[in-house]
Structure 1
Amino acid sequence: MRTLTVSLTPKQAARLQDAVNSGDYASNSEIVREALRLWEQREEFRTLELERLKRAYDEGMASGEGQHVNRTAFLRALKAERAIRG
């Protein structure tokens, strides 16, 4: 494994040490590896979500010309539909 030097605030360093002292983690490195795994998961999710949004945008653009919708009437219809469904 590669060793890196990371600068932390005193509060961050204390929280890491507390987690190790409590036995929740074996070492500071274990905490950082878990944090990086969570970050990687979040980045993967963001990438997938962005791809989904781009597809939805492309589908919307390909669906044809937009149309004007009366906001009040639209909301009233949604509420009526919801009331019917229960």
Structure 2
Amino acid sequence: MDISLTPDQERFIQAKLQIGKYRSAEEILELALRLLDEYEQSEDDWVKDVRQKIDVALEASKHTSPVDGETFVNGIVERFQQANSA
């Protein structure tokens, strides 16, 4: 596979090589790909976590009486004020 880099990408890689932290452009690209994989995995994990929390909240809402919007917002404001005064 041939990869074309932009001039900025080439300068970035050359700068890293000149510092001496990496031995080759391949090493830099390998690290970049590994970090991309970790980033995507953490994003997937975050989505799964949020979905699970939503499912838990939906299930809890089935056993809780509804609250109107004004009461809900007032409760949040009250907790915020209490936290700031502590």
Q: TM-score, normalised by structure 2?
A: 0.79
12-21 vs 60-69, which moves further: 60-69
* Counterpart Cα distance in 2 of 1:27 and 1:59: 48
Q: Say yes or no: does 1:31 pair with 2:28.
A: yes
Displacement after TM superposition at 1:61 (Å): 1.4
Distance in structure 2 (CA, Å) of the matches to 1:46 and 1:75: 28
Classify 1:54/1:76 alpha carbon distance in 2 versus 1 (closer, same or farther; 3 Å): closer
Using structure 1 for the length normalisation, give the TM-score.
0.79
1: CA distance, partners of 2:15 / 2:3: 18
1:78 pairs with 2:79: yes
Two-structure CA RMSD over aligned residues (Å): 1.8
- Could you tell me how far 1:76 is from its partner in structure 2? 3.4
Equivalent in the alignment of 2:16: 19
| SS across alignment from 1:67 | coil
Alpha-carbon offset, residue 83 of structure 1 = 4.2
Mind listing any 5+ residue stretches in structure 1 that lack a counterpart? none
- Residue 67 of structure 1: how far off its partner (Å): 2.4
Bigger helix share: 2
Partner of 2:69: 69
Change (3 A) 1:6 1:78: same
Alignment coverage as a number of residue pairs: 81
